[in-house]
Structure 1
Amino acid sequence: MTDRKTRQVGPGEARSMARRRRYFTYVAFGGLVGGIAGFATGFFDQGDGNLFAGDWELLRLPPALALVIAGLLLAGFLALPIYSFRLIDDYQREQGLIGYSGGYLGVMAGFPTWAALYGGGFVPAPHAFGIFAIGFVSMCVSYLYARWRL
């Protein structure tokens, strides 16, 4: 048996280790972006906004901070995922695209369905957080389905 310190790492194993490190770096970056945005929004809110309750109109942030938070969110939710699609293998890319497509389709079907049910008096009026939740949950479900079934 070889000692771990003297064992040579093959090219495939080296690529796998680099891919794993890159993955954890992206997860850490995403968590950092979310943590900074959430903390800054909660700490520096000058109004009585409650994003989970849908009180968007009561949210008051300093303009410079709002721009920083918006930039961080665009980097974390848009730029990083698009950039990462070129760094992963075809199978993982397909799973991610199926997940994103499922989220998109969930929103495209969920909002009109919700609006129709609201018109019939069955549910409260559609709101931004609910639409985001529909997209997020359907993206997660679609990704997990693709991961387990494909």
Structure 2
Amino acid sequence: MILAKKSVLGPGEARTRTRQRRQMIFLGVSVVIGGTIGGLTGAFDQGDGSLFSGDWDKLKLNPAIAVLVSALLVIGFIALPLRGFGQIDEFKRENNFIGFTGGCLAVLAGFPIWAVLYAGGMLPPPHAFGIWLLGFFGMFASYLIARIRA
């Protein structure tokens, strides 16, 4: 009777599996933080506002909930991405840096361009959510371009 040997992972395969496991944990933590932010905001909003329809100024939250949601936003938008840069390989890290730089440049250039076009009567006045969208889509587009070119 021939017994099959249990395969032993090589060092490269072990590192890859460890990295993939960390990425899944990172993604899971991100989803939980995002869901908690959305859930707390939706459950405890005492006004008629919405972050996504442009009337965020009508949101009314208990100060304790506002501090908690703000802390979660700091973790989700600052701490997790910075921590994540140390967990990915150099190739992905470089593409992410290019994406973040593109988002920053989109905001830095987009706001004055928008303000000038508003002054010329061609656009509505700049607003916070629009600036956030400039950064988000600038980052997304920059990352995609870097990924395709690499």
Whether TM exceeds 0.5 here: the answer is yes
Whole-Å Cα distance in 2 between the matches of residues 61 and 90 of structure 1?
A: 41
Corresponding residue SS for 1:126: coil
Matched residue, 1:45: 45
> Which of 99-108 and 88-97 deviates more?
88-97
Query: Pairwise CA RMSD of aligned residues?
Result: 1.5
Whole-Å Cα distance in 1 between the matches of residues 122 and 56 of structure 2?
A: 24
5+ residue gaps, structure 1: none
Is the counterpart of residue 128 in structure 1 residue 128 in structure 2?
Answer: yes
Matched residue, 1:98: 98
Per-residue Cα deviation, 1:5-60 (whole angstroms, up to 9, x for no partner)? 81111110010011111111111111111111112111210011122232222111
> Which of 55-64 and 104-113 deviates more?
55-64
Corresponding residue SS for 2:125: coil
Whole-Å Cα distance in 2 between the matches of residues 19 and 148 of structure 1?
A: 23
Deviation at 1:105, TM superposition (A): 0.3
Q: TM-score, structure 2 length as denominator?
A: 0.93
Count of equivalent residues? 148
Per-residue Cα deviation, 1:72-121 (whole angstroms, up to 9, x for no partner)? 11111100111121222211111110000000001111111111111111
Whole-Å Cα distance in 1 between the matches of residues 71 and 92 of structure 2?
A: 27
Corresponding residue SS for 1:98: helix
Q: TM-score, structure 1 length as denominator?
A: 0.93
Corresponding residue SS for 1:54: coil
Matched residue, 1:72: 72
Matched residue, 1:54: 54
